[in-house]
Amino acid sequence: MNDGKAFIDFFVLLYNAGIHLASQFNDHIPAYSAITINR
């Protein structure tokens, strides 16, 4: 069961990192932010 929680924690970390990277890209690529908003 601990492995499952570790996997979820790792996924959340990746997800948060992805959001952080996306916000950085949004500053440079307006079209990218439009795509992410539409999701």
Count of domains in the chain?
Answer: 1
Q: Is residue 5 part of a domain?
A: no
Distance CA 1, CA 9 (A): 13
Residue 18 placed within a domain: yes
In this prediction, residue 37 carries a pLDDT of 56
Q: Are 2 and 10 in contact (CB under 8 A)?
A: no
Full-prediction pTM beyond 0.75? no
What's the 3-state SS for the chain?
Answer: CHHHHHHHHHHHHHHHHHHHHHHHHHHHCHHHHHHHHHC
pLDDT at 2: 76
Which domain does 39 fall in, by range?
Answer: 13-39
Residue 24 lies in a domain: yes
Would residue 31 count as lying in a domain?
Answer: yes
- Tens of pLDDT along the chain (39 residues)? 678 898 999 999 998 888 888 777 666 666 655 565 555
